Amino acid sequence: MTTMAFDAVSEDLPGAKWLARWYRSWPSYEAWFIARGGDAGPDAATCRAALGRHMPELLVTYDRLVAITGGSERAARFLSTWCPKMASKEARHHGSDRLWIENDL
């Protein structure tokens, strides 16, 4: 089990404060992402396209976060929070007319 601490960051734009928390948290997030099959999900370009299609207002912030974290493929995929493959893989029926979908990523 991984334990993490969360705290708030107040910046007009993601910058030094946000990045300090990223450096502190990324090793645990990265281990979690890998352990849950995140590397088998969509590539960064697909994730960015999905974000642009569903939440275009977040693209500027997403691009900034990817850039200041160094632009790695894995970090870009993680930051998008887009992973439909895992969600559909975890679908389960609970009762005759309900579908429960879990997405651990």
Residue 59: pLDDT over 60: yes
SS3 of 85-105: the string is HHHHHCCEECCCCCEECCCCC
User: 11 lies in a domain?
Assistant: no
Q: Is residue 90 part of a domain?
A: yes
Residue 7 maps to a domain: no
CA distance 88 to 12: 36
**Residue 100: predicted pLDDT:** 52
| Domain enclosing residue 37, as ranges | 16-100
CA angle 29, 31, 34 (to 5 degrees): 105
Residue 1 belongs to a domain:
no
Which whole number is the average pLDDT over 77-86?
Answer: 75
Specify if 49 maps to a domain.
yes
Report the domain count for the chain. 1
Confidence of residue 81 (pLDDT cuts 50, 70, 90): confident
The verdict on residue 10 lying in a domain is no
Rounded to an integer, what distance in angstroms lies between the CA atom of residue 71 and that of residue 68?
7
Q: Is the pLDDT confidence value at 84 over 90?
A: no
The pTM assigned to this predicted structure is 0.72
**Per-residue pLDDT at 99:** 53
Reported as a single tens digit per residue, the pLDDT across 1-56 is 777 677 778 899 999 999 999 999 999 999 989 988 889 889 999 999 999 999 99
